């Protein structure tokens, strides 16, 4: 599962983003990236890398990124498009003003991409996610919340996302549907993150975003609304966990957590990959039917309990 962090406030944002991404590493990922709006509001700096967060941090350091007060960061678990720097998040619109990080799958991305391409949008990645900044661009008239609301209304699938705009410098907009996202509240600052682990060094005051809710965050301000634009009260909780307890999500140990997460993990793996006909659709892997039909041997490599899974899979494959 990927990691998401968004921040607006007085702290040096690059440090907040990189520290939060490191604390979310345990979720697993294949590439990472950040977008930072610099303090002089001159522009947004996007840095992406297909290695680990520490590599991204070195890249950021070597580029002498000017610090800022608003930014977003992401560790990606690729579902659509290979794990390359180009496919890493954040993704941007055609104007370079709008930037989005996303966890989940946009199931109708092919149709949307075709439609947006016909309308003149230029895509630079193979991801399903990239339709989001272009959709937001379509609806954007200076009000990021409204544009995000209209964009998510156009997509099918699941999402936790955070968006920012270069022309609304002290604002990030977060939205979720069937994917995790929590808001961290500070006095003059606000955070959005995939889980509480990333927030614990900064705040114990957390707002739980409901399914289909959109939060607009400014330094010390939060408003929440539904997909219909109806205002709703944020559900505030005080967190008493330490960082390790937060990683275990309330379970006494990691093994138990992973066992309980299996249904969700399976759902995530299958989502968007079963066509309406019931057939498996793995187009994004780019292997043709002819190539598949020509395969004579399959080698499964595994150790530990995955070895048992491989043995069961062998029987299943041979049977099929
Ligand atoms: N589907 C998106 C992608 O492949 C998001 C993956 C994620 O949740 O990290 O880029």
Q: Which of 53, 110, 129, 264 to mutate to test the pocket of ligand 1 (most atoms within 8 A of CB)?
A: 129
Tokens describing residue 136: 């937001």
Q: Is 139 in the pocket of ligand 1 (CB under 6 A)?
A: no
| Residues above pLDDT 70, as percent of the chain | 99
| Residues above pLDDT 90, as percent of the chain | 75
Kindly state the average pLDDT of the residues 82-107: 95
pTM, to two decimals:
0.87
Kindly state the average pLDDT of the residues 31-51: 89
Q: In the sheet that 221-226 helps form, which strands lie side by side, from edge to edge?
A: 91-92, 98-106, 157-165, 172-177, 213-218, 221-226, 231-232
What pLDDT does residue 272 have? 72
Q: Is 77 in the pocket of ligand 1 (CB under 6 A)?
A: yes
For 22, other C-beta atoms within 10 Å of its C-beta total: 18
DSSP-assigned beta bridge partners for residue 104:
159
307 vs 264, more confident: 307
What pLDDT does residue 42 have? 66
Asked if residue 91 lies in contact with residue 130, where contact means CB atoms within 8 angstroms, the answer is yes
Q: Is 68 in the pocket of ligand 1 (CB under 6 A)?
A: no
Q: Is 2 in the pocket of ligand 1 (CB under 6 A)?
A: yes
Segment among 79-88, 91-100, 240-249, 280-289 with least mean pLDDT: 280-289
Give 129-159 as a 3 state SS string.
Answer: CCHHHHHHHHHCCCCHHHHHHHHHHHCCEEE
The span from the CA of 3 to the CA of 162, in Å, is 11
Kindly state the average pLDDT of the residues 1-17: 94
Residue 46: φ, ψ to 5°: -115, 125
- pLDDT over threshold 80, residue 19: yes
Kindly state the average pLDDT of the residues 234-244: 88
Q: What is the pLDDT of residues 173-217, one digit of tens each?
A: 999 998 999 999 999 999 999 999 999 999 999 999 999 999 999
What pLDDT does residue 41 have? 61
Segment among 119-128, 186-195, 239-248, 295-304 with least mean pLDDT: 239-248
Q: What is the pLDDT of residues 63-88, one digit of tens each?
A: 888 778 999 999 999 888 888 999 99
Q: Is 48 in the pocket of ligand 1 (CB under 6 A)?
A: no
The span from the CA of 117 to the CA of 53, in Å, is 32
Q: What is the pLDDT of residues 106-162, one digit of tens each?
A: 999 999 999 999 999 999 999 999 999 999 999 999 999 999 999 999 999 999 999
Segment among 67-76, 87-96, 228-237, 286-295 with least mean pLDDT: 286-295
The span from the CA of 12 to the CA of 30, in Å, is 25
Going by C-alpha positions, the residue among 172, 187, 240, 236 that lies closest to residue 11 is: 187
The span from the CA of 263 to the CA of 265, in Å, is 5
Contacts of 317 (CB under 8 A, 6+ apart): 298
Asked if residue 156 lies in contact with residue 108, where contact means CB atoms within 8 angstroms, the answer is yes
Kindly state the average pLDDT of the residues 275-299: 84
What pLDDT does residue 85 have? 95
The span from the CA of 168 to the CA of 70, in Å, is 10
State the DSSP H helix or E strand holding residue 221, giving kind and residue range, or none if neither. Answer: strand 221-226
Going by C-alpha positions, the residue among 200, 201, 208 that lies closest to residue 236 is: 208
Q: Which of 29, 123, 127 to mutate to test the pocket of ligand 1 (most atoms within 8 A of CB)?
A: 127
């Amino acid at each position: 599962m990927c990691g998401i962090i968004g921040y607006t406030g007085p702290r040096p944002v690059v440090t907040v983003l990189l520290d939060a991404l490191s604390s979310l590493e345990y979720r697993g990922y294949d590439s990472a990236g950040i977008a930072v709006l610099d303090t002089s509001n001159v522009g947004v700096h996007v840095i992406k890398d297909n290695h680990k967060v520490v590599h991204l941090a070195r890249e950021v350091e070597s580029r002498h990124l000017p610090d800022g007060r608003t930014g977003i960061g992401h560790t990606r678990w690729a579902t659509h498009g290979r794990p390359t720097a180009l496919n890493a998040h954040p993704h941007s619109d055609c104007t370079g003003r709008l930037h989005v990080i996303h966890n989940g799958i946009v199931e109708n991305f092919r149709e949307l991409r075709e439609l947006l391409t016909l309308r003149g949008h230029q895509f630079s990645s193979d991801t399903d996610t990239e339709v989001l900044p272009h959709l937001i661009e379509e609806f954007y008239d200076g009000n990021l919340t409204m544009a995000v609301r209209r964009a998510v209304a156009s997509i099918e699938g699941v999402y936790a996302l955070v968006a920012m705009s270069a022309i609304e410098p002290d604002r990030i907009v977060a939205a979720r549907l069937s994917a995790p996202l929590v808001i961290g509240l500070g006095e003059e600052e606000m955070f959005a993150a995939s889980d509480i682990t990333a927030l614990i060094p900064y705040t114990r005051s957390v707002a739980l975003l409901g399914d289909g809710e959109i939060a607009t965050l400014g330094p010390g301000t939060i408003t929440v609304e539904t997909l219909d634009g109806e205002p709703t009260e944020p559900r505030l909780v005080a967190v008493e966990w330490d960082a390790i307890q937060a990683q275990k999500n309330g379970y006494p140990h990691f093994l138990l957590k992973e066992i309980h997460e299996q249904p969700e993990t399976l759902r995530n793996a299958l989502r968007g990959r079963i066509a309406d006909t019931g057939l498996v659709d793995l187009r994004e892997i780019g292997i043709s039917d002819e190539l598949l039909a020509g395969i004579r041997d399959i080698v499964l490599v595994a150790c530990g309990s995955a070895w048992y899974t491989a043995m069961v899979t062998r029987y299943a494959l041979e049977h099929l």
